[in-house]
């Protein structure tokens, strides 16, 4: 986290606020991904209408965490120690929220954080959600899993947004 006085890009500022909320609430990775995806897809549906691609992404994200990853607590990416070695942090597990009502409540709270933080653009808000998901996955599951998720999101973006289907 950077100092409060430093100017940061919008998506990083908003993403940091969301991440701090998820950590403070001791949210599981599966719950965080499902709630963040719900917020993202609700925003996209409000702007572009409901699409089959949105439903498919929601299913893919929900199935993304493996059985041993689902209940890991969201945390920040460990920082490197002097000498270049990453800090050794063992994943901590938490109790997942009651589904689907708990996911809906979590999504509403994340939506409120986004509204209060006031990203400058729709794209900044979406980028904040995506970067928060990537950070949560990298911190709990490692860089390789985050890269896999990044490819999933890139495919969604290419198929739906860049592919011209959402205009």
Is 29 within a domain? yes
Tell me if 144 is assigned to some domain. Answer: yes
Q: Domain of residue 87: give its range.
A: 10-162
Q: Is this structure's pTM higher than 0.85?
A: no
Q: pLDDT digit of tens for each residue in the chain (167 aa)?
A: 444 545 678 888 999 999 999 999 989 999 999 999 999 999 999 998 888 899 999 999 999 999 889 898 888 877 666 665 555 556 666 766 666 688 899 999 999 999 999 889 998 999 999 999 999 999 989 999 999 999 999 999 888 765 555 44
The CA–CA distances, whole Å, from 157 to 36, 160, 161, 166, 167 equal 16, 5, 5, 10, 13
Structural domains of the chain, count: 1
Q: What are phi and psi of 93, to 5 degrees?
A: -100, 150
2 domain-assigned: no
| 111-149 core/surface letters (b: 16 or more CB in 10 A; e: else) | bebbeebebeeeebbbbbbbbbbbbbbbbbbeeebbeeb
CB 134 within 8 A of CB 141: no
């Amino acid at each position: 986290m950077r100092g409060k006085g430093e100017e940061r890009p919008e998506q990083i500022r908003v993403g940091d606020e969301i991440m701090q909320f998820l950590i403070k609430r001791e949210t599981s990775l599966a719950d965080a991904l499902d709630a963040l995806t719900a917020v993202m897809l609700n925003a996209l549906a409000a702007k572009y209408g409901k699409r089959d691609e949105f439903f498919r992404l929601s299913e893919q994200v929900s199935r993304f965490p493996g059985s041993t990853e689902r209940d890991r607590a969201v945390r920040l990416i460990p920082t490197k120690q002097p000498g270049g070695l990453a800090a050794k942090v063992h994943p901590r597990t938490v109790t997942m929220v009651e589904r689907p009502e708990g996911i809906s409540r979590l999504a509403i709270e994340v939506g409120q954080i986004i509204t209060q933080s006031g990203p400058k653009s729709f794209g900044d808000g979406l980028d904040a959600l995506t970067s928060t998901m990537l950070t949560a996955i990298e911190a709990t599951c490692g860089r390789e899993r985050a890269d896999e998720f990044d490819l999933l999101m890139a495919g969604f973006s290419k198929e739906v947004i860049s592919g011209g289907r959402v205009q």
